[in-house]
Amino acid sequence: MNFKQFYLGCLSHASYYIGSGVEAAVIDPQRDVQQYLDEAASNIQTIKYVIETHSHADFVSGHIELAAKTGAQIVYGESAETEFPTLKVKDGDVLTVGSISLKILETPGHTPESITIVAEDNENATEPLKMFTGDTLFIGDVGRPDLIGSKGFTAEDMAGMLFDSLHTKILPLPDETEVFPAHGAGSLCGKSLSKETWSTLGNQRQFNYALQPMSRDEFIKLVASGQTEVPAYFPKSAAQNLRGPAAFDDLAKPKKLSSEEIVNFDGVVIDVRTAAEFGASHIPNAINIGLSGQFASWAGTFIPVETPLAIAAMSIEQVDEAVMRLARVGIESVKGFMLMSGFSGNAGIIEQLPAEQSDQRMNAEKDVQFIDVRQPGEHAAGHAAGTINLPLNTLTRELDKLDPDVPAYVICQGGYRSSLATSILENAGFKYVYNVAGGTSGWSEAGLEIEVSNAYAL
């Protein structure tokens, strides 16, 4: 068996290559597909199947391009409403790749058409089963059931399906079965995913909170509550995957803009540099979404898919990376770019203040706003004393809770999300905005006061 997991950290996305003899299959491919072609070539194998465990909402898949380049069949669950030639599979169907059997289990719950693939090596009886669970079962979690409401299912309906799928299809398998999900920690497709990218079913049976003994009704209540807000791009990416996305190489390339053109750009300018670089000098009205973090997810959260975009970067390599990562979530509207070494306009500045300096200034000024933009659970578990919690993903809707004339100090965990937040506040007309460099981690390391909300106090 030839087996490889490809893990894309910026989207917390795992895809898989599995081959035997002269044949192979790719499961849940990312949009840029060259790595799978390279893997097939290195193993002297032909990709026979491109299998999608479900219609992904958090990224645009490369199934169309990969099938076009290899002649592979695209495989979806029987109820998937695809608009391109598809091999539809149902419960109990078996696909063969060399000596490997790929048994299909229908496991609705995250989406109605979700499938799980169980791989068995028929030439090695001692090899554990490999189970590719998509977004049905994660390491430490299960798939969220609230992404498909537009198709007439409630979160409770889907959670009930998920319970049945787990208990009738997945949990009866042996403990040594290896579990390979489509996502890890950082994905918005669940609420408590582990940093581990694979596990065994026995381990998950023991430690995954959602697999502990409970009634169906208790499970529904547990997994249908406490989910984060669904980013606006999710339904658009899911629809694009079912419609059939264009090949990345066919997308229009952005053009180089002058300083005047980017200052007057009719759209959104994304500055992809670090918080320190952005704070020191940036194009007015740009927003800072650094390539060092969950770049594409945050872009999809704040920017409607069809919005014209321009990229501000340090190098052409950063521009190319930004364009690719945006395309991975279905944002294909990058029209231009500017390398900041060539920017000659009036630049904006946002001070980056270490924790101790921020604390000193706030104590001296007294009338300030100290804003923590992490998620409520993060804030409750431990935050800088005196902060108010306005999560980044909802910040633009809560600006009326703040005073644009009062100095605003913004903090997150390490300084990445807070830099994006400061750029939002600056563009909203806030006069005095400061990023707390190093975030809550730096605040704690400096020995400054940390508060824990009562709900998390022991």
Task: Let me know the angle formed at the C-alpha of 133 by 96 and 11, rounded to the nearest 5 degrees.
Answer: 115
pLDDT per position as a tens digit, 189-203:
776 788 899 999 999
What is the model's pLDDT at position 304?
87
- 10 falls in which pLDDT band (50, 70, 90)? confident
Please report how the helices 34-43 and 63-70 are oriented relative to each other, as an axis angle in degrees rounded to 10. 40
pLDDT per position as a tens digit, 129-188:
999 999 999 999 999 998 875 577 899 999 999 999 999 999 999 999 999 999 988 777
Integer Cα distance of 458 and 452 in angstroms: 10
**Lowest mean pLDDT, pick from 51-55, 101-105, 231-235:** 231-235
What the block records as the tokens of 225 is 């509550």
Domain 351-456 top-level CATH class: alpha beta
pLDDT per position as a tens digit, 324-381:
999 999 999 999 999 999 999 999 999 999 999 999 999 999 899 999 999 888 999 9
What the block records as the tokens of 312 is 């501000």
What is the model's pLDDT at position 249?
84
Distance, C-alpha 238 to centroid of its chain: 13
pLDDT per position as a tens digit, 398-432:
999 999 999 999 999 999 999 999 999 999 999 99
What is the model's pLDDT at position 133?
98
What is the model's pLDDT at position 180?
98
What is the model's pLDDT at position 454?
63
CATH number of 254-342, picked from 3.50.50.60, 3.90.1150.10, 3.30.365.10, 3.40.250.10: 3.40.250.10
What the block records as the tokens of 396 is 């633009």
168 by Cβ neighbours in 10 Å (0-12 / 13-18 / 19+) ranks as: exposed
Instruction: Reply yes or no on whether the pLDDT at 23 is more than 50.
Output: yes
Fold that domain 2-242 belongs to in CATH: Metallo-beta-lactamase; Chain A (3.60.15)
Task: Quote the mean pLDDT of the chain.
Answer: 94
Integer Cα distance of 269 and 258 in angstroms: 13
What is the model's pLDDT at position 79?
92
232/269: higher pLDDT? 269
Q: Where in the chain is the domain with CATH 3.60.15.10?
A: 2-242
What is the model's pLDDT at position 457?
37
- Containing H/E element for 193? none
Q: Where in the chain is the domain with CATH 3.40.250.10?
A: 254-342, 351-456
What is the model's pLDDT at position 418?
97
What is the model's pLDDT at position 293?
87
Are 371 and 412 in contact by the 8 Å Cβ rule? The answer is: no
